[in-house]
Amino acid sequence: MRILSTAAFVGLEPELATREGFEWATKECKMMKSGGVIGGLQNDIFSRKHEQKMGNVTSAVECYMKEYRASEEEAVEFLTKEVSIAWKDMAEEYCQKRTTTFPIAFADTMFNVARTVSFLYENADCIINSHLLKDHLTSLFIDPVPL
């Protein structure tokens, strides 16, 4: 989340890229932590089997299963709840920032990066299985909904 958000900040308009925004974003703010939880856990839930085939050792699912002697289903259910809690934390800080004079472009960017990552792992690992994005990209760029 930190790398993706930072890269997205580079594209902000100069008048939106304030020192206050960068300082908030570079400390461990709740939105950054929550985005990391969302992306990390969804990645582990949906790509663990593929990554194990590639030789990667563990994921949050396996760690939970081992530590709590839980089934795979129980581990996925618990981690999915953790993702939901992270979304609530992110939304809470986002709403707090919207009611202040804070440069909201940073919070918007973090929220949008988290939404994009979440979309890519919504029901499968669309990063590894990029063919799953074909219909979405087609609807966005080739057959958009007329306005």
**Which alpha helices (H) appear in 54-140, and where do they start and end?**
60-68, 72-98, 104-120, 134-137
Inside any domain, residue 94:
yes
pTM: 0.78
pLDDT value at residue 82? 97
Q: Which domain holds residue 118?
A: 2-142
Inside any domain, residue 121:
yes
Highest mean pLDDT, choosing among 29-33, 40-44, 73-77 = 73-77
pLDDT value at residue 139? 80
Give dist(CA 16, CA 130) in Å, integer: 33
Between residues 39 and 9, the one the model is more confident about = 39
pLDDT value at residue 44? 87
Number of domains present in the structure of the chain: 1
**Residue 1 predicted with pLDDT over 90:** no
Cα–Cα separations (whole angstroms), residue 40 to 9, 34, 66, 94, 141: 20, 10, 18, 20, 28
pLDDT value at residue 12? 76
Exposed / middle / buried, residue 36 (Cβ in 10 Å: 0-12, 13-18, 19+): middle
Look up the CATH number of the domain holding residue 22. 1.10.600.10
Cβ-proximal residues to 32 (8 Å cutoff; 6+ apart), any chain: 1, 2, 5, 25, 110
Contact indicator for 106, 24 with CB cutoff of 8 Å:
yes
Inside any domain, residue 147:
no
> What is the average pLDDT across 125-136?
73
> What is the average pLDDT across 117-140?
76
Of the chain, the percentage scoring pLDDT greater than 70 comes to 93
